[in-house]
Amino acid sequence: MPSSPPESEPLIRLLWRAHNWFRAALTTAFEAQEDRSAISAAHVTLLSQLPTEGASIAELARRLGVSAPTAHQWVHELVAMDVVTVESDPHSARSKLVLLTEAGARRRAETIQILAGLEAALAERVGADTVIALRAALEKPWGAPESAVVELPGPSAS
């Protein structure tokens, strides 16, 4: 009986592995810096999803795919490290915004510099054209996730 070709990994698994590669490399770079408070992989992930204009803890939890209490704990830890602050949302009396502090803005600038170096290192490993193509594919508008589900083929008729 002929053997079937190996099943390829789902794209989501490959993307998650790539995300973890960048997150681990960034965390390692932070740990190597002198006079820096330790920043965890969870903190790096939260900061990567924090827009410049700030976000509520609930919005951060949605972006991260974690519970609100988990996002709240991470924010509290980053407040203690003077990386973020939590302030009243000027657009909603019931909401608070998580914002970068001055130290957090400096850390974000350092992070962008480190990420550019990691991207260059990745280009050396897999080829500049591959990284350019990957970036181009990820920057294209994908449309709403719900619209992709509608396009799925129906169940096979038996």
Res 37: pLDDT: 63
Which phi and psi (to 5°) does residue 100 adopt? -70, 140
End-to-end Cα, the chain, rounded Å: 25
Q: Pinpoint the alpha helices (H) of 40-152.
A: 41-48, 57-64, 68-80, 102-126, 128-139, 145-150
Res 109: pLDDT: 86
Res 45: pLDDT: 85
Q: How far apart are CA 79 and CA 86, in angstroms?
A: 8
DSSP state of 4: P
Written as tens digits, the pLDDT of the chain (158 aa) is 666 667 899 999 999 999 999 989 988 888 887 655 677 888 888 988 899 999 999 999 999 999 999 999 999 999 999 999 999 988 888 889 999 999 888 888 888 898 999 999 999 999 999 999 999 999 999 999 899 998 888 765 44
C-alpha atoms less than 13 angstroms from C-alpha of 31 in its C-beta half-sphere:
10
Q: How far apart are CA 149 and CA 145, in angstroms?
A: 7
Q: Which two tokens stand for residue 19?
A: 């995300």
**CATH topology for the 13-136 domain:** Arc Repressor Mutant, subunit A (1.10.10)
Q: Which two tokens stand for residue 123?
A: 């280009």
Res 43: pLDDT: 87
pTM above the 0.85 mark? no
